[in-house]
Structure 1
Amino acid sequence: MSKSKRETFEEIILDILQNNPEAQIPFEALQNILQVEGGKDNQRLKSAINSLFDRNLIVKRRGGDIQLASGNGKKERPANSNVVIGKIDISRRGTGYLITEDFDEDVRIPSKHLGTALQDDKVKVELFKRGRGKRREGKIIEILERGRSIFVGKLKKQGKQNYLIQPDEKSAHIDFFVLPEYVKDAQPGDKVIFELEDWVHPRSLPEARIVEILGKEGTNDANILSILAENQIKASFPEEVEEYAENISTEIPEKEIMRRHDIRNKTVFTIDPDDAKDFDDAISIEILDNGNYYLGVHIADVTHYMPRNTILDEEAYKRGTSVYLVDRVIPMLPEKLSNGVCSLRPREDKLAYSCFMEIAPNGKMVDHSIEETVIHSNHRFTYEQAQEVIDGKESEFSEEMGMAAKLAHILLDKRFREGSINFETPEPKFVLDENGKPIDVILKERLFAHRLVEECMLMANRTVAKHVDQLRKKSNKKTTKDLFPFFYRIHDQPDLEKLKNIEDNVKPYGINFHIDSPTVSSKALNTLLKEIEDTPLELTVNDLMLRAMAKAEYHPNNIGHFGLGFENYAHFTSPIRRYPDVVVHRLLKSYAAGQPSYSYDELKKVGSHCSEQERAAIDAERDSIKLKQVEYLSQHLGEEFPGVISGVIENGIFVDLKDIHCEGMVRVSDLSDDYYEYDEKQHQLVGRNHGKKYYLGKEIRVKVVRTDIKARQIDLELVDDGE
């Protein structure tokens, strides 16, 4: 027999009070928590309170507040070894999956056992008894830590004075209620960023407080800013941080210049994208009398302007990185620093931290120094302008550009010979109108000018890490963990199971890529990448290999960088847009002054945070690209595109549209010419009656039939199956 609404109210009220035994709760608060509207529900709520009071379960306080009667608290749960801790991932259907280090497979949490957990919360789960052959299931018994500080959704009016927020799918799985005083100036239909105020019971709604209004749902700003909030990134800086930045002087005191190596008379230039404003790095180059190259990589001296533990430093640490979205940059530092004081703008004196490297004609570094400098950039090149000079266009910097290009070729060849993996993944670039609507999409051209800058920066990053290694070797102490701790960019061996997956997928094409040992050589990966170059498999295998790769991280424990093939590697060259580079500058400066800096344990903590922020930024960047791809294809419904199968699952095939490097899906239910079964081993769909196969790398032609901008999804239909 189902419970009456009054009995349900009783149960929820008692549960709330047992979880908050000291709390005195007003009648109006209960009305909001239980979303009570109308006279009948009000009467039921009053009856529920009176029933609990009559049974001595609650007491009434002055003013009508209610409180738990003593002796009615929840009994302590007995210690249980059948308990695991992890992070909760909640699907759009409201089912939870606990990601825990205790098991390889996630633990399923049915929606009725989620309690008051939200996406990414750290929770404690009690496991149910497991049936044979069934997956592990459990229920959440405690929320240890909230995973998200902000959420994003659409404001709706509910009744006369109640407001609800319907969160975006990636943000939360349940609606929130908002008290009128927390609505600010938001109007129904607005996209808003909000915080969790409280959630007292799983059968009530969580309470929200609106912190920012993004604009009407569907507008470009609302769409883009929603992506940031989904990934826990805020666009605007707190007022006090902006104020701190504005008070930083743009003048360089003579005393500071005297203290540094003054190289303002040297030829120095920058090479950056045409729309860049934050110039992190500059280059100088010459050939010494002994025939060696003398390369200078000059980096904006952010740490001079940003001492540790200031509000500016705390905000930069919190952000961890700049975020590069399709139509805007969310900087790590306020504009006064990122585009002004620190930026190595042309024809301005700037403070830099420079790495000078003497490099032999065979690419081997024979000497180096790391110094605080004053520079004066003579010219600002875009990549396209630099390429023109590399290709022979006359310039007053032709000689320097020619030297740099020649050195870059030497360094590039040496790097690939020594085990660096040659990844080339095309990136889409959007042409937007004044409202941010994509009117065209092209694939970015990869110029040698990009390679030139990359090789110079890689060399500097490698050199500073080697420098610390040399400092340790010069020291007489035996241990290295606490001796000159350093902040490395590390990259572990790839996932062998995922690489074996690639082995299965390239076999039908006659490509023999074999994994039979516990490790894999970068040479084997480069051979495969060479074999699939300019074939239909190229994009797919590149993507599969990237997924098989371990994620690069920041850590004080140096395990080397597998992808680059470097034993020592750190991030030194971008402190305007990456906090790890700020840390590296501070470490190098401290050691040069003979002083201690960050401890090993501090660096572990900073590394974990910065790696997490980097992953959030990458997700936001990918989401913004996907959004613009979906918006672009929304204007091309019914049109056909050539594509390559980039993924196969039981429900259908993913297709990469060649012209715009954008992925959509053909659902298996739309393949109506046969009944298709999924061959898990070969990663293909096979027709039961006619034997037709859909597999990775197969070229097909598809039509765009549906797009969902909100979910950022593209549905395709097969036009030509390539046979």
Structure 2
Amino acid sequence: MLTTKTFLRKTKKGNILKIVREHYLRDDIWCGSNLCAKCLHKAHELVLDDEPVSNSSLFSFPHYVVVDTCVVLNQIDVLEEKAMCNVIVVQTVLDEVKHRSSSVYKRLKDILSNPQRKFYIFVNEHHRDTYVERRPGETVNDRNDRAIRVAAAWYESHLAGPGERVRAVLLTDDAGNKERAVAEGLTVCTVVEYVRSLRGHAGLEDKLNLASLQYVGGWAGREPLFPPHLTPAQVHAGVRSGRLCQGTFLASRENFLEGQVNVDGRDGMVLVQGREGLNRAVDGDTVALEMLPEDQWAAPSEIVLVDEGDDPGDVLEEEPSPAPEETKQRAERQPTGRIVGIIRRKWRQYCGILQLNPVQGSSRHIFVPAERKIPKIRLETRQADTLANQRIIAAIDSWPRTSRYPMGHFVRALGPVGDKDTENEVLLLEHDVPHSCFSEAVLACLPALPWLITEQDERRREDLRHLDICSVDPPGCTDIDDALHCRELENGNYEVGVHIADVTHFIRPGTAIDKEAALRGTTVYLVDKRIDMVPDLLSSNLCSLRGNEERFAFSCVWEMTRDANILGTKFHKSIIRSRQAMTYEEAQLKIDDARQQDSLSRSLRALNDLAKILKRRRIDNGALVLASPEIRFQIDDETHDPIEVESKKLRETNSMVEEFMLLANISVAERILQEFPECAVLRRHPRPPDTNFQPLISVGKKLGFEIAIGSGRELAESLDAAVRPDNAYFNTMLRILATRCMMQAVYFASGMEQPEDFFHYGLACPLYTHFTSPIRRYADVMVHRLLAVCVAADSTHPDLLDKRRAQDLCNNLNYRNRMAQYAGRASVALHTHLFFRGKIQDEQGYVLYVRKNALQILIPKYGFEGTLYVRPRRGEKMSVQFVYNEEDQTQRCGDVVFHTFDPVTVQLSLDRSNVQHERVLLQLVSPRIAGFSVASWDAEIEAASGKRKEPEAEPMDQDAAGDDRDDVPAGKREKTKGKQKKRKNKS
């Protein structure tokens, strides 16, 4: 049967275009039930049980469940449970879910693909008896609801037969849909009613999204606590008129009553403060913002404020009052606004713990997220005693005006609080790192072993196996994706080559392994393990440029003068055999030992000399040398616990490899942009707005240094000149602050940005991309494919030349790259806490920030910041008083004054009183303040043992901190080690 759909569309020129589409209807679409005699011959499509067992006290008869769109969107956590089976999802629902939520759609598809769950897709839109036309004046939503009810009614009649037949029960969260279903004689109930009727599944009720019932049972307060949000129509009109602006809300980690909005098209962030200003926005939400008049602008708070303590109920306590406006310098204030509407929520599932209700027997509790930027969540659970010491996952359902905290529901438990495996799982989930095992479809794309190079491969590639090529990486590195060579030519110049693992030979476009790599985006490096972007067979074996093994590579080869001037560049697919896989230290020893005159040693020395010239040239051109504290953990082989911490040491060989990776990336960027001006995948680093530099300028000025920010070169020269002989770590701290002023470097498709925006500010180069790390970055895979087409080594494909598709991939890569960085830092923090369990140590630190109620202390040895509170926190008492001078940014107690960057000695121990947020506790040792400082732990140990303590290592030298490392090539970041040397824990 054929029906037609007619659409009228208005063109840009104002003409009316009539579009007619044919819609085919069939009568041979089966129902999917093993009970149905009419469909038995379609055995491969029979999913639903012939005798479904009912566990519902509402419906004791055998039945299948038909779900509507609201149920899938709001109750996906319930549907994922095994208690829900024999479920029919009609095509109308599937299409609506796909259109409205990609994340829920993916989760639903995962359920549908599992035959044990017995979820069946019924193609109602192409069945002659269940397809419905949209009536005149009927909304799309009402038409779809009617189509779902028609499908449920069809199942009732289709499965009718003698004896006890199987019925169809419609589940809906829509009150209007339920009323119409009852009027039409259907068997119907809400999800809440159905779940509460299931016997033997008490825990399932905790997973219900109760947003529609949030005012039942006294959840909400009586008086509104927040201003109302504008309606979508009001928001749209306000944005269109310019009265409102939209952007992404970013909550503060240091003050839960403060955040910023990254407004589209505006340089710099807009500050929002106070509960009314934040107005129920959650980190990541897209919000509508109303700007305040300039005389109401404020400066970011100098108070470190955490929402601690028990549930105060639905009341708002008095907020800390800001400092008098006259004490604020005009330059320190920034554009300020208030959030008046939510355009799009970015709620997700959150990890955390349960804060139990002190009322015995209550099922209503507070969920405390692990991420401080997320507010506490109210939820109901009857498993509180079981979950009290567990890390759990919860989801937000709604946030009414009358509730201090948002409402949510329990999703699942992860494991005991404090357990390392559980905490690792938490940090991966919190940073949205895909870490499940690779699927069978992905593994099926891997080549069979033994893998051999064929004669056909040799004909298609440049044979470079005769060259003395080597790799230089951190110790224990197994995913080696770059190698180098240098040899002298007859004309006295050098031939220099960078050889990169040819990952795209094994990962073809559109395959399951390609889609998985694009989703993951990057390899994530944690302290004790690595979450690979591609399976281990490729990352650590066939693509890894291991010593004395033949491998496929993509080579970038230059002819250079001895002054590092490039005379020519060529690219080709190649076959190489690395002579040796060296560590940085091994390569440095070869360079420094003049007695070693073999070809590999001479090659390394030439590379090192050229790299020094390249680096000096870059810096003279305005490239920045920034800093970030980086450390390395020694991990016990058996327990995988940290047993020693040390600062990462950077040698000349680190810089040598870095320079040639940067040069290769720049050379490739120039080539692919020349060939593909619209769809080249590049990387840009925007210049920070001047407001970003304000903290750096302010600190420099107070310490007697003028920081110029007119250009990258001026900034670099200012940083070079800012040196204090009395503080060896001063310049490094200044560079750390400069790093925090920077914008994030991002991938983009060249056709989506203006050429003047291609510039990479940190590297001071007009064009840049990522080519040198295809094992661990999908951006490099995209670039390899573009370059392969440029040199006729591979054919093109449609997605490669689609700039919008390329930009979508780049957006995902930017997100995955950012999350991978955060996950890596969280892993360092976790292992720092593990390291300090049962330890107390005195360490050298520096004041990085002076706050109104605290000092932020940087501990170089461990690469982390801690908070030293100088005002009593809730429930604490303090016998001394500190005086904060906002103008000078100092804290004074008696004769002791703390300035930014001042050295201090602090005592470190682990505070485990808060099971949700273990923290390294900082207590002042020196300078000595009576009644505040603690006695030196090292002195106590020395006195008790009668032994002299060995002196601490000097703080790392200002050049040893390196730069941000964001654009340092593959293998140059510290990678997760394999076997580590086992050391005795002396503490």
Q: Does 1:496 align with 2:683?
A: no
Which residue in 1 is equivalent to 2:844? 642
Give the SS at the match of 2:866.
strand
CA contact (8 A) 1:245 1:312 kept: yes
Counterparts of 1:467 and 1:78, CA distance in 2? 48
Task: Give the 5 Å matches for 1:254-265.
Answer: 254-265=455-466
1:402, 1:697 → 2: CA distance? 39
Counterpart residue number, 1:465? 669
1:233 — aligned with what? 433
* 1:651 and 1:668 in contact (8 A); partners too: yes
TM-superposed CA distance for 1:175, in Å, is 5.1
Residue by residue, what CA displacement relative to the aligned partner does 1:174-207 show, whole Å, maximum 9, x if unpaired? 1556799xx9xx9874445x58596698979534
Letter matched to residue 596 of structure 2? E
Structure 1 position 307 matched with structure 2 position 503: no
Once residues 316 and 84 of structure 1 are traced to their aligned partners in structure 2, the CA distance between those partners, rounded to angstroms, is 36
AA partner of residue 779 (structure 2):
P
Q: Alpha-carbon deviation of 1:568?
A: 2.0
Counterpart CA distance in 1 for 2:862 and 2:191 is 58
Q: CA deviation at 1:242?
A: 4.3
Q: Is the 8 A contact 2:620 2:713 kept in 1?
A: no
Q: In structure 2, do the counterparts of structure 1 residues 78 and 359 end up closer, same or farther at CA, with 3 Å as the change threshold?
A: closer
Change (3 A) 1:722 1:564: farther
Residues 114 and 248 of structure 1: CA distance in aligned 2, closer, same or farther (over 3 Å): farther
Identify which of 718, 733, 744 aligns with 1:540.
733
Change over 3 Å in CA distance of 1:86–1:351 after alignment to 2: same
Alpha-carbon distance between aligned partners in 2 of 1:157 and 1:242, rounded to the nearest angstrom? 43
User: 1:106, CA displacement in angstroms?
Assistant: 4.2
| 1:682/1:491 CA distance change after superposition, 3 Å | farther
- Residue 619 (structure 2) pairs with residue 454 (structure 1): no
2:908 to 696, 704, 710: 704
Pairing of 1:88-167 with structure 2 (within 5 A) = 88-89=249-250, 99-101=261-263, 104-107=269-272, 110=275, 119-122=283-286, 124-125=287-288, 133=296, 136-138=337-339, 140=341, 144-148=344-348, 150-154=349-353, 166=367
Match of 1:577 among 758, 776, 791: 776
1:218 equivalent to 2:379? Answer: no
Deviation at 1:359, TM superposition (A): 1.3
Compute the TM-score of the two structures, normalised by the length of structure 2: 0.59
How far apart are 1:652 and its partner, in Å?
0.9
2:867 to 642, 660, 665: 665
Correspondence for 1:475: none
d(CA) in 2 for partners of 1:514, 1:156: 47
Larger deviation: 521-530 or 422-431? 521-530
Q: Higher mean Cα deviation, 709-718 or 528-537?
A: 528-537
**Aligned counterpart, 1:682:** 888
After superposition, residues 428-443 of structure 1 pair within 5 angstroms as: 428-433=631-636, 434-443=638-647
Of 755, 758, 764, which aligns to 1:565? 764
Distance in 2, Cα, partners of 1:531 & 1:720 = 21
Distance in 1 (CA, whole Å) between partners of 2:801 and 2:724 is: 46
CA RMSD of aligned residues (A): 4.2
State the 1:643 CA deviation: 1.6
Q: Which of the numbers 398, 403, 408 marks the counterpart of 2:611?
A: 408
> Is the 2:626–2:738 Cα contact (8 Å) retained in structure 1?
no
Deviation track 1:350-402 (CA, whole Å, cap 9, x = no partner) reads 11111001111111111010111111112111112111111116374222222
| Aligned residue type for 2:660 | C
Who is 1:22 aligned against?
Answer: 177
Which segment drifts farther, 657-666 or 547-556? 657-666
Q: Which residue of 1 aligns with 2:34?
A: none
CA contact (8 A) 1:287 1:293 kept: yes
Q: Which residue of 2 aligns with 1:55?
A: none
Q: SS in structure 1 opposite 2:831?
A: helix
- Does the alignment pair 1:325 with 2:480? no
Contact 2:546 2:578 in 1 (8 A): yes
TM superposition shift of 1:230: 0.9
Partner amino acid, structure 2, of 1:264: R
Q: CA deviation at 1:649?
A: 1.3
- Give the 3 Å change call, closer, same or farther, for CA 164–312 of structure 1 in structure 2: farther
Question: 1:485 aligns to what?
Answer: 679
Q: In the alignment, residue 483 of structure 1 is paired with which amino acid?
A: P
Distance 1:497 1:141, change over 3 A: closer
SS in 2 for 1:377: strand
Aligned in 2, Cα 1:177/1:146: closer, same or farther, shift over 3 Å? farther
Q: 2:726 and 2:440 mapped to 1: Cα distance?
A: 52
Which amino acid is the alignment partner of residue 669 of structure 1? R
Q: Which residue of 2 aligns with 1:417?
A: 620
Shift in Å, 1:621: 1.0
CA distance 1:355–1:157, change in 2 (3 Å): same
**1:591 to partner: Cα distance:** 2.7
Equivalent residue for 2:538, pick from 328, 337, 344: 337
Q: 1:591-606 residue pairs with structure 2 within 5 A?
A: 591-593=790-792, 597-606=800-809
Separation of aligned partners in 1, 2:365 and 2:444: 37
Counterpart of 1:287 (choices 473, 477, 488) is 488
SS in structure 2 opposite 1:453? Answer: helix
Does the aligned pair in 1 maintain the 2:836–2:909 contact within 8 Å? no
Residue 654 of structure 1 aligns with which residue? 856
1:521 aligns with 2:683: no
Letter of the 1:218 counterpart: G
In 1, Cα distance between equivalents of 2:366 and 2:639: 26
> Contact (CA 8 Å) 2:907, 2:922: kept in 1 or not?
yes
Instruction: State the identity as a percent.
Output: 25
Q: CA deviation at 1:85?
A: 4.2
Query: What is residue 549 of structure 1 aligned with on the other side?
Result: 742
Flag the 1:631–1:532 CA change in 2: closer, same or farther, 3 A: farther
Q: Supply the distance in 2 between the matched residues of 1:506 and 1:32 (Cα, whole angstroms).
A: 67
Q: CA deviation at 1:295?
A: 0.8
Cα distance in 1, alignment partners of residues 645 and 916 from structure 2: 20
User: 2:926 is matched with which residue?
Assistant: 720
Contact 1:626 1:712 (C-alpha < 8 Å) held by counterparts: no
Counterpart of 2:323 in structure 1 is none
Instruction: State the Cα distance separating 1:332 from its structure 2 match.
Output: 1.2
Rounded Cα–Cα distance in structure 1 between residues aligned with 2:615 and 2:596: 25
The answer to whether the aligner puts 1:444 opposite 2:648 as a matched pair is yes
* SS state at 1:521 partner: helix
